[in-house]
Amino acid sequence: MQVFVINLAIARDRLAFMQGQIGTDFERFDAIKAGAIPAHLAVNFPQPARLLPNEIACYASHLVIAETVLKRGLPYAIVLEDDVDLAPDFRQVVAAGIERLPAEWDILALSGAKQHPHCRLSQVTDDTHLVRYLHFPKTTAGYVISPSGCRKLLASRPRLRPVDVDIRYGWEMHLDGYGLYPAPAWQTNRFASSIPKSKKQRFYWRADPVGYLAGRFVGVWKMGPVNLARAYLEEYRMGRSPLAK
C-alpha cells in the first residue's frame, strides 16, 4: 500500500504529527515551493496568475505525485496532506474500501470538510460504507488515486482553480469518483494553514454557468433517481437537510 505524505521540509512538526499516527511506513513527498514549479507544469498555470503562489505550488505537488504513480506503474496511491487526523483503523478501512471499488475507478475520497448527499453502494466495515457523492467533497486532505485518475488529472489544460476545487469539478476531467463514509481522515485544527485564503470570495461557477449546471446534472444522472431520493432522505434523517430545519 503506497502512501505519500505531502510535507514541506521546514514543517517538521507536521511530519512528526503524521508519523505519530501512521508510523514510518509511508513516503514523504517534498512539497513543491511557491516559485519553484517544474517548467513542464508551469505552462498549465496561466499568467497573470488566477491562483495564489502557494495554491499553484500545492496543485503542482499533487500533479507530481500523479506523475510518480504512472512512472512507477503503481496500481494506486494514497495521498495525504500533513495536517490530517486519521481514524485509528485508517489503513484497514482504506484497504477494505479499495477492494469494494468497481473495476474502473479514478479517485476515492478519504476526507471531506462537509459531507454532501451520498448513496451507499456497499458496506466496507461495520461502520463504514463505500459511497457515491452527489457533489464530490472539496478537499484533497486525503484520497486514493488510480492510474486512470492520474492521467485525467495530468491532462494538459489551464488550471484556474485550486486543486481541491478542480477535483470537485471532476466532471470536466471525466473523473469517476467515490468516497468512504464516514470519512477516515479529516483536516485537523492543530496547525495554521500554509495556504492563505484569497481576500476575495471566488465564485468559480460564474466562469461557465452552463458547464457548471451540466456537471451537476452528470452527478444526478450517475447517482440515479432512486439513490438520489435515498441520499436526501438520509440527509433529512441526520438533520443536515434544510428541509429538516
* pLDDT tens digits, one per residue of 138-162: 889 999 999 999 999 999 999 988 9
Q: What is the per-residue pLDDT across 51-103, written as a single tens digit (0 to 9) for each?
A: 899 999 999 999 999 999 999 999 999 999 999 999 999 999 999 999 999 99
Q: 3-class secondary structure for 171-223?
A: HHCCCCEEEEECCCEEECCCCCCCCCCCCCCCCHHHHCHHHHHHHHHHHHHHH
For residues 129 and 181, the answer to whether their CB atoms sit within 8 Å is yes
| Span 224-242, average pLDDT | 64
User: Which pLDDT does position 241 carry in this prediction?
Assistant: 44
Query: For residue 64, how many other CB atoms are within 10 A of its CB?
Result: 20
Digit-coded pLDDT (tens) for 160-218: 889 999 998 888 889 999 999 999 999 888 877 666 555 566 666 566 676 667 766 67
pLDDT for res 242: 39
Q: What is the DSSP letter of 33?
A: P
Within 10 A of 105 (CB to CB), how many other CB atoms are there? 18
